[in-house]
Amino acid sequence: MDHSAALLPVYDFSFALNSDYLKKIIPLLTQHQIAANPVNYAIFYDYVTELNPSLTSAVNQLLSRNISFDHETSLELYGNFISNASLRSFDNINQQIHKVIRQATDAINDTCHKAEQTNDSFQKKSAILENTPEIATTQSILQEIIQETKSLAATSQAMQIQLNKANVEMEQLRAELAQVRQIAVTDGLTGLLNRRAFDQTLSEIIEQPGKATTCLSLLDIDHFKRVNDTYGHTIGDNVIKFVATLMKKHAEDHHHVARYGGEELAIIMPNTPKQKAIEIAENIRLEMEKSRLKRKTDNLTLGRITISVGIAELLANDDPESFVTRADTALYQAKETGRNKVMH
Question: Is pLDDT above 90 for 12?
Answer: no
Tell me how far CA of residue 287 lies from CA of 62, 167, 170, 292, in angstroms.
42, 49, 46, 10
Question: Is pLDDT above 60 for 10?
Answer: no
pTM metric for this prediction: 0.56
> What pLDDT was estimated at residue 7?
44
Q: Are 214 and 269 in contact (CB under 8 A)?
A: yes
DSSP-assigned states of every residue in 321-332: HHHHHHHHHHHH
Nearest to 239 by CA among 256, 252, 226: 226
Tell me how far CA of residue 146 lies from CA of 140, 153, 212, in angstroms.
10, 10, 69
Q: Which residues of 59-97 are buried (b: 16+ CB within 10 A; e: fewer)?
A: beebeeeeeebeeebbeebbbebbbbbeeebeeebeeeb
Amino acid 326 reads: R
In percent, the amount of the chain with pLDDT more than 90 equals 32
Q: What is the mean pLDDT of residues 66-76?
A: 81
Gap between the Cα atoms of 213 and 183, Å rounded: 30
> What pLDDT was estimated at residue 266?
97
Which positions are annotated as active-site residues?
263
Q: Are 259 and 190 in contact (CB under 8 A)?
A: yes
Q: Which residues of 289-308 are buried (b: 16+ CB within 10 A; e: fewer)?
A: eebebeeeeeeeebeebebb
Q: Mind listing the pLDDT tens digit for each residue in 212-245?
A: 799 999 999 999 999 988 988 889 999 999 999 9
Q: Are 327 and 277 in contact (CB under 8 A)?
A: no
Q: Are 222 and 305 in contact (CB under 8 A)?
A: yes
- pLDDT, greater one: 173 or 41: 41
Q: What is the mean pLDDT of residues 136-145?
A: 69
